[in-house]
Amino acid sequence: MTLSNGVTMLLPEAHIESVQSVMPFKITDPRPARQVSAADPVGLGIFQQCLHIVLYYTKATEEDSRWLHAGWIKESLSRALLEQPLFAGRLRTSDGGELEIVANDSGVRLIETRTPMTMAEFLSYKDSTEDTEDKLVFWKTIDERSPQYSPLFYVQVTYFQCGGRSVGISCSVLLADLLFKENFLKKWANIHHNLLSDESLPATPFYNFPHVEKSGNPCKNIFVSIPSKKCGKTMIFNVAAEKADSENDEALQLCVEEAESKFGFGKLFVKINISSCSAIKVENFQKGLAKPKLSLIAEADWDYFGAKEVEFREGNKPATVSYWFGFISGGLVMAVPSSADQEGASVIVTVPN
């Protein structure tokens, strides 16, 4: 049997083995909120659009226990959510009829899956076939009528037959900037590493359920992910501080023009204007011709955001990292303010296929 035929048969057999909600380690008080301004939330797609990140890790050590490792993932994630509780929050409609995300500790969904493939087989198949990696992330679109019940952040840990694992992140596009600006993944990984190094902690983490593996009864047809295909190509730009004004579209125009010249034209771009951590505005982006001041804009790539340096275990950096936006129909342009120790902004432009 050839590799391609074998992979075709094995790929659908990845099983969900557990689904849990992970809340912040302590009650969030006071509860921060992010105002979401969108004239047409359904038309702009804010209930569907999401960012996916998949980090692939080879087996760290021969003694590495995947289930014990999963327990520490949950433990460290609950502590990391203290740094950014909005990820564990929900989108709701305020008394005044406005949308907002409130950090109400409802929790992040964490899904554990197992596949009979090795990581090498999967990556080989991924390189030759589109839309393979959607098996490594979990996402359900936000309920338009009752958004308060829909998670905004999912983590899927997938165990490969070889002992390697992937960590798949799915985040509402309304919170995607916080992953980058605050370097959430690296902070989470540092917390995880510190937990593993703390000899005062018990050998078994609080979130450890060995009976899940022993039962041998995967959770079939109970939790269904809505596939999020790679529906566009993305370019990243670094914009100088003097052109990083969120109210000035000139720099964004330049970035969109560059992306379209490389990938082809998009239709109606959605602009995500992030004025602060407490407010976000989503609107249609009016394209136009910008003045050529390319010296203020430099092309970058996803590596700029540092995911390739995220080590959950010391010395075990990701073998590879994938990023893509899901459910982007016309196009997306988003300016992410730089962190406190940097100047300017990063502009992310996705042009649909």
Span 294-349, pLDDT tens digits: 567 888 889 888 899 998 888 889 999 999 998 888 899 998 887 655 667 889 99
Range of the domain at 51: 3-229+303-328
Is residue 258, in this structure, part of any structural domain at all? no
Task: Give the pLDDT of residue 211.
Answer: 43
Is residue 175, in this structure, part of any structural domain at all? yes
> Where in 181-331 does DSSP place strands (E)?
232-239, 270-276, 279-284, 297-300, 320-326
Reply yes or no on whether the pLDDT at 113 is more than 80: yes
Is residue 77, in this structure, part of any structural domain at all? yes
Q: What is the pTM of this model?
A: 0.89
Rg of the chain over CA atoms, in angstroms?
Answer: 20
Share of the chain above pLDDT 70, in %: 79
Is residue 254, in this structure, part of any structural domain at all? no
Is residue 338, in this structure, part of any structural domain at all? no
Is residue 242, in this structure, part of any structural domain at all? no
Lowest mean pLDDT among 16-25, 177-186, 210-219, 233-242: 210-219
203: CATH? 3.30.559.10
Task: Give the pLDDT of residue 7.
Answer: 43
What is the total count of domains within the chain? 1
Is residue 154, in this structure, part of any structural domain at all? yes
C-beta of residue 293 within 8 angstroms of C-beta of residue 264 = no
Confidence of residue 129 (pLDDT cuts 50, 70, 90): low
C-beta of residue 164 within 8 angstroms of C-beta of residue 59 = yes
Is residue 320, in this structure, part of any structural domain at all? yes
Span 241-293, pLDDT tens digits: 656 555 667 888 888 988 999 998 888 889 998 877 888 999 998 887 666 65
